[in-house]
């Protein structure tokens, strides 16, 4: 079965009931990761394979509904009544065709984060860059070739909508497998706020977040989030601090199996450090393409980034899966073996293992032939609190010049970040090689990514070939930074 977007169902699915009504909440012992359930549902209902050249059309309805994924009820914006949205799975090189019906009262869009969209930049789904948004009651059919393979995701690229729930996983299967494992699981991580994104943004713009240390002036420690952390979810489930009963996502594993975990940080605000207690993780891919495997105890996943890690299930009992903000707020899920049915892990405080994934360890599997004389474009990140805005080279999108690039040109972006916050940058339509810090560039085997953190008071150099003509966005993936100007359009002609 090629693609697995479930058709909207009339009867509520288990995952839907779980967050629509407290009464119907499944007990911890019967929890099923929503993504897996959705995938199974889609598989059963999928249409027969389309004739060659004719892709099957999937349908996604964008709606609002009530739910309480962290125990607190609020309005969720979601796809097909599900949150996170349906798990979309397609083979590398196949055509994905998705009809999106906007049943919201405001415009929306879907961006396919990680898809290169060769020759189809109008399908990239960025409001105002790829084309107009989808008006209320209107529909739009996205159609593109799925490449590159790997772990990706899709989300609204209109306003600050994705933080309200408009995102889901997008998986592109490698035509030739790059690693061996027994099975896989998706862990979609996100921070979660009680208020709608529009309200949060309005408050930020008014300067009233109550946490307005001047981000240009943080001296001793860096600022890790523009708005106070409230809670976070793993595959749409979590607990606000102090809550001890809302069900958490549980990954059931058998001793002896190797599982490919596809980790996605779909947060609007926070980078998350990921660890599974007592379980080393072998990182095999990032943002799609494979990387030279490296075994670590924990890794930082910035907004928009993806990491594929192999987990060898060698223990027993139950352990915490932790995704932790850089100021220590924890998002939890459970790894559980059959010898501990329904058990919760021991309530012990977080202790990081000794090995953290470093940028220097992130390398391609093969040597890379880089163009020696790229066109270098320096980009200095900046911002202010009054007015609240974030930008590059003193310009604030949409009042910012597009960067014009000739087709085939090799571009080197030198990103410098003098601000007190990290800024995870995402490039649309291409992957780039991460060369690292100037003076210590990796010119031999730089890893390929599409999202890279530019650390506070630090810098990063990336290089890429502009071989995909079109209008592409390049921006910080923190929603509040993107919404207030930390973005540029790249025009490749």
Q: How far is the CB of 426 from ligand C2O (least distance, A)?
A: 5
d(CA 47, CA 448): 35
Output 33 or 486, the one with its CB closest to ligand C2O. Answer: 486
Output 89 or 481, the one with its CB closest to Cu ion. Answer: 481
User: 384 Cβ partners below 8 Å, 6+ apart?
Assistant: 216
Which residue number is nearest to ligand C2O in terms of Cβ?
A: 113
Q: How far is the CB of 303 from Cu ion (least distance, A)?
A: 8
Sites for Cu ion among residues 387-446 (CB under 5 A): 423
Pairing of strands 306-312, 330-336: unpaired
Output 162 or 192, the one with its CB closest to ligand C2O. Answer: 162
Tell me how long the chain is: 493
**Residue 488 binding: pick among ligand C2O, Cu ion, none (C-beta 5-8 Å cut-off by kind):** none
Output 89 or 477, the one with its CB closest to ligand C2O. Answer: 477
Output 478 or 490, the one with its CB closest to Cu ion. Answer: 478
Q: Which stretch binds Cu ion (CB under 5 A): 67-75, 280-288, 400-408, 474-482?
A: 474-482
Output 167 or 320, the one with its CB closest to ligand C2O. Answer: 167
Scanning the structure block, which residue is given the tokens 């405001």?
106
Q: Which stretch binds Cu ion (CB under 5 A): 51-59, 72-80, 243-251, 477-485?
A: 477-485
Output 20 or 476, the one with its CB closest to Cu ion. Answer: 476
Q: Supply the DSSP symbol for 191.
A: E
d(CA 479, CA 168): 16
**Residue 481 binding: pick among Cu ion, ligand C2O, none (C-beta 5-8 Å cut-off by kind):** Cu ion
Nearest to 11 by CA among 81, 63, 60: 81
Assess contact for 365 and 285: CB atoms under 8 A: no
Number of residues forming the site for Cu ion (CB under 5 A) = 4
Q: How far is the CB of 41 from Cu ion (least distance, A)?
A: 36
**Residue 279 binding: pick among ligand C2O, Cu ion, none (C-beta 5-8 Å cut-off by kind):** none
Assess contact for 382 and 419: CB atoms under 8 A: yes
Assess contact for 116 and 150: CB atoms under 8 A: no
**Residue 157 binding: pick among ligand C2O, Cu ion, none (C-beta 5-8 Å cut-off by kind):** ligand C2O
Output 329 or 451, the one with its CB closest to ligand C2O. Answer: 451
d(CA 114, CA 306): 9
Determine the 3-state secondary structure of 20 from DSSP: helix
Assess contact for 112 and 170: CB atoms under 8 A: yes
Output 322 or 488, the one with its CB closest to ligand C2O. Answer: 488
Q: Supply the DSSP symbol for 340.
A: S
Task: Name which position in 322, 336, 481, 488 contacts Cu ion (CB under 5 A).
Answer: 481
Output 145 or 155, the one with its CB closest to ligand C2O. Answer: 155
Q: How far is the CB of 164 from ligand C2O (least distance, A)?
A: 15
**Residue 87 binding: pick among Cu ion, ligand C2O, none (C-beta 5-8 Å cut-off by kind):** none
**Residue 478 binding: pick among Cu ion, ligand C2O, none (C-beta 5-8 Å cut-off by kind):** Cu ion
**Residue 364 binding: pick among ligand C2O, Cu ion, none (C-beta 5-8 Å cut-off by kind):** none
Assess contact for 37 and 56: CB atoms under 8 A: no
Output 83 or 337, the one with its CB closest to ligand C2O. Answer: 83
Q: How far is the CB of 404 from Cu ion (least distance, A)?
A: 24
Question: Quick check: 476 binds Cu ion (CB under 5 A)?
Answer: yes
Footprint of ligand C2O (CB under 6 A): 111, 113, 126, 155, 157, 304, 426, 428, 473, 475, 477
Integer angstrom CA distances of residue 465 from 185, 405, 485: 33, 10, 25
Q: How far is the CB of 376 from Cu ion (least distance, A)?
A: 22
Nearest to 83 by CA among 102, 103, 59, 60: 60
**Residue 466 binding: pick among Cu ion, ligand C2O, none (C-beta 5-8 Å cut-off by kind):** none
Nearest to 79 by CA among 56, 111, 48, 119: 111
d(CA 3, CA 226): 37
**Residue 423 binding: pick among Cu ion, ligand C2O, none (C-beta 5-8 Å cut-off by kind):** Cu ion
DSSP secondary structure string for all residues of 335-401: EE-TTSTTPPPP-------S-B--GGG-B-SS-----SSPEEEEEEEEEEETTEEEEETTBBTTBSP
Q: Which two tokens stand for residue 424?
A: 């995870």
Q: How far is the CB of 320 from ligand C2O (least distance, A)?
A: 28
Q: How far is the CB of 124 from ligand C2O (least distance, A)?
A: 8
Q: Which two tokens stand for residue 195?
A: 């208020």
Determine the 3-state secondary structure of 352 from DSSP: coil
Q: Which two tokens stand for residue 441?
A: 């560039």
**Residue 464 binding: pick among ligand C2O, Cu ion, none (C-beta 5-8 Å cut-off by kind):** none
Both ends of the chain: CA-CA distance in Å?
37
Q: Give me the residues that bind Cu ion (CB under 5 A), please.
A: 423, 476, 478, 481
């Amino acid at each position: 079965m090629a693609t697995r977007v479930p058709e909207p169902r009339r009867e509520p699915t288990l995952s839907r009931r779980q967050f629509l009504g407290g009464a119907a909440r499944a007990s911890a012992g019967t929890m099923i990761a929503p993504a897996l359930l959705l995938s199974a549902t889609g598989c059963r209902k999928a249409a027969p394979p389309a004739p060659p050249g004719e892709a099957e059309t999937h349908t996604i309805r964008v709606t609002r509904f009530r739910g309480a994924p962290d125990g607190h009820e609020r309005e969720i914006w979601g796809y097909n009544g599900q949150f996170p949205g349906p798990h979309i799975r397609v083979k590398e090189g196949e055509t994905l065709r998705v009809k999106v019906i906007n049943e919201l009262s405001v415009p929306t869009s879907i961006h396919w984060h990680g898809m290169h969209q060769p020759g189809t930049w109008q399908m990239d789904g960025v409001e105002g860059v790829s084309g107009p948004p989808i008006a209320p009651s209107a529909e739009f059919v996205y159609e593109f070739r799925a490449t590159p393979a790997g772990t990706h995701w899709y989300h609204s690229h209109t306003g600050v909508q994705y933080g309200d729930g408009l995102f889901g996983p997008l998986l592109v299967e490698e035509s030739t497998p790059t690693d061996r494992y027994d099975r896989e699981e998706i862990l979609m991580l996100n921070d979660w706020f009680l208020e709608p994104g529009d309200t949060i943004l309005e408050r930020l713009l008014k300067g009233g977040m109550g946490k307005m240390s001047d981000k240009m002036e943080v001296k001793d420690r860096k600022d890790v989030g523009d708005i106070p952390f409230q809670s976070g979810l793993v595959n749409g489930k979590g607990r606000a601090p102090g809550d001890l009963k809302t069900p958490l996502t549980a990954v059931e594993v058998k001793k002896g199996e190797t599982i490919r975990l596809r980790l996605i940080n779909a947060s609007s605000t926070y980078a998350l450090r990921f660890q599974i207690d007592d379980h080393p993780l072998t990182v095999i891919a990032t943002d799609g393409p494979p990387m030279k495997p490296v075994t670590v105890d924990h890794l930082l996943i910035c907004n928009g980034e993806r990491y594929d890690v192999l987990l060898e299930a060698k223990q027993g009992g139950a352990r915490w899966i932790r995704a932790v903000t850089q100021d220590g707020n924890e998002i939890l899920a459970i790894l559980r073996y059959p010898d501990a049915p329904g058990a919760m892990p021991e309530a012990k405080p977080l202790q990081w293992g000794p090995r953290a994934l470093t940028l220097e360890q992130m390398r391609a599997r093969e040597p890379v032939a880089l163009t020696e004389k790229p066109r270098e474009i320096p980009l200095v990140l900046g911002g202010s609190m009054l007015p609240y805005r974030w930008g590059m080279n003193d310009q604030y999108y949409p009042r910012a010049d597009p960067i014009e690039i000739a087709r085939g040109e090799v571009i080197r972006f030198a990103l410098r970040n003098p601000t007190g916050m990290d800024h995870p940058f995402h490039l649309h339509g291409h992957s780039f090689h991460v060369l690292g810090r100037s003076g210590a560039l990796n010119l031999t085997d730089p890893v390929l990514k599409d999202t890279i953190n530019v650390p506070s008071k630090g810098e990063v150099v990336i290089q890429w070939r502009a071989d995909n003509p079109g209008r592409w966005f390049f921006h910080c993936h923190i929603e509040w930074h993107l919404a207030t100007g930390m973005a540029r359009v790249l025009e490749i002609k």
